[in-house]
Chains A and B, each alone.
Chain A
Amino acid sequence: MATRLQYENNCEIGVFSKLTNAYCLVAIGGSENFYSTFEAELADVIPVVKTSIAGTRIIGRMCAGNKKGLLLPHNTTDQELQHLRNSLPDSVVVQRIEERLSALGNCISCNDHVALTHPDLDKETEELIADVLGVEVFRQTVAGNILVGSYCTFSNIGGLVHPHTSIEDLDELSTLLQVPLVAGTVNRGSDVIAAGLTVNDWTAFCGSDTTATELSVIESVFKLREAKPSALVDEMRKSLIDTYV
């Protein structure tokens, strides 16, 4: 299910939080309401960790991660790094990287298997991403924008990209990522998808300005609607034997 919420009158949820399949990071300084909405959805399943990165609240845009790891920019303080290492599960590798482009969330978009990165990222960084996050890395642009981390967001199930992405680009990206993609908007026509929305395999959070239409697109592409029989069959399809010859 997708939840609508706000951070201090601001609908850019993806800026102030980071959601993956193994953990959720939330910015400090917001009202308890913001934090408790995340807790209500996620508390029993994954840890919800309050943090800052480099002293800022824009944590969603500063870091990139998936269930296997978390990458932090070079200006993350030692205390923040330690706090994150302590609070996240041991299976998650927390790594601070020396990369000129410090807004990693804007430069890297990833799920548990594939990552799309800013074309100008260092070769070293690319190798670190493949290593720490355990993903295959592709340098790409989305609708002509180099900030792939801002203009597209995808989980292991589906993805949402910038509204002006052409059909050819959509097909190409979909082949690369191996998930269905849809071009759409969030927060009442905003094209900065990843800033307005944060998603994992079973839930999504988006800004309260998101219209019902946008929300239904999000729920359908990320397959968030509850327990449809077809969803189960899709998952099991590989192991099901249809006919005996």
Chain B
Amino acid sequence: MPRKPKKHSHSLRHRLVTFSPFARSKAMATRNRGATKVIEKPKLQNKDLATSSFNGFKNNGKDKTQQSGSSASSDDEEFEGDVQADFVFFDPKPSDFHGVKVLLQTYLDNLQWDLSGFVDLILGQPTVGTVVKIENDEDDAVYSVVSALNLGRYKDSKCVLELKDYLLKVCRDMDVKGKLKSLVGEHVQDVGLLVSQRVVNLPPQLLPPLYNGLFDEVEWATEDEPTEELQSSFRFKFYLIISKIYKHKSADQNGGTVKNGEETLIYNRPEDEIFFMLSSWSFSFPSHAQQVTANEMQLKNYRPMGLVMVVEASKISSFRKQLHSLIDE
């Protein structure tokens, strides 16, 4: 039974701190549109401006917010105020191919692999997985994608084979390598690859409903799927997560401790920290892909790394609670 798109209208007082080229261009586009609108119709009342919407973005023009490091336009107008956007969750469908592919470009670092095939796997699973878009967006851009893929179910596909080879290749930690081998070998039927990618500035308030939705769908799939085989394919015992972090450059030398009270590890995404604490085991590996970082100065002592974690399925309810409290504080 097809589920209707779940609506989450968040009226966001969220300052868009844009520090990725994608977000910058999006912000630039709305800023310019907003600016032109103000110039062309100076008699518009504030409330008219607020109710008129183009592409779902509304410009309130309340407080002036400085955009960190962006001054590419000759316009004197600063990026004004907050932007409202209605995010909508959809089931993945084949027309989302290009949007999802863009989000997954650096999933396996700079490896050249069958990314298109991998995206097809995600889109071929409408029952488990979510794609986040903006309401009435004429570009139909994808802002986030989450999914859980049973590695055993897809073990013969080229992309999964390449993914497994890659993980085994980058794992330098010998103790962990054995566990990894058994996980992708004998126990592959119980492993769910948790794919979660999003634009850098997606509001964190969306994360609890996004992850809750995913884990609920996994549970429903164990009952709703048409065949017994498919139902059992969603009874995951482990979740495998591939993600990115920053490690302090001197962390390895000083035996894991860092001077000056700086953090050893910086997580790109808040949920990674919770996953890491709940993980049964994990390993990290140096990352080679070009990283676009905002705060170059703050991150100059850090090296970008990839992080692979395995979390037992039983720990997921704890994860949901912790994520909830983390975001709501």
Contact = CB atoms under 8 A, between A and B. Distances in A.
A223 interface: no
A117 interface: no
B97 A31 contact: no
Interface of A: 6, 8-11, 31, 33, 188-190, 208-209
Contacts of A11: 116
A12 B199 CA distance: 21
Contacts of B37: none
B112 A190 contact: no
B97 A9 contact: no
A239 to B, nearest CB: 47
B98 interface: yes
B285 interface: no
Contacts, number: 20
A209 B116 contact: yes
20 contacts: A6-B112, A8-B110, A8-B112, A9-B105, A9-B111, A9-B112, A9-B113, A9-B115, A10-B105, A11-B116, A31-B112, A33-B112, A188-B97, A188-B98, A188-B116, A189-B97, A189-B98, A190-B98, A208-B116, A209-B116
A188 B99 CA distance: 12
A31 B97 CA distance: 24
Interface in B112-128: 112-113, 115-116
A209 B120 CA distance: 11
A140 B98 CA distance: 28
A123 B97 CA distance: 41
A208 B117 CA distance: 11
Interface string B85-124: 0000000000001100000010000111101100000000
A83 B318 CA distance: 60
A208 B111 CA distance: 16
Interface residues on B, range: under 10
A85 to B, nearest CB: 30
A188 B102 CA distance: 14
Interface of B: 97-98, 105, 110-113, 115-116
Nearest to B98: A190
Given A8-B110, A11-B116, A208-B116, 16 more contacts: A6-B112, A8-B112, A9-B105, A9-B111, A9-B112, A9-B113, A9-B115, A10-B105, A31-B112, A33-B112, A188-B97, A188-B98, A188-B116, A189-B97, A190-B98, A209-B116
Contacts of B112: 6, 8-9, 31, 33
Contacts of A209: 116
A6 B112 CA distance: 9
Contacts of A188: 97-98, 116
A6 B113 CA distance: 10
B67 to A, nearest CB: 23
A188 B97 CA distance: 9
Contacts of A190: 98
B116 to A, nearest CB: 5
A54 B105 CA distance: 24
3 closest A-B pairs by CB: A9-B115, A209-B116, A9-B112
Contacts of A9: 105, 111-113, 115
A56 to B, nearest CB: 13
Nearest to A209: B116
Q: Which of the listed residues A9, A11, A189, A208 has the most CB atoms from chain B within 10 Å of its own CB?
A: A9
A69 to B, nearest CB: 31
Contacts of B111: 9
Contacts of B115: 9
A11 B98 CA distance: 11
A189 B110 CA distance: 25
Nearest to B113: A9
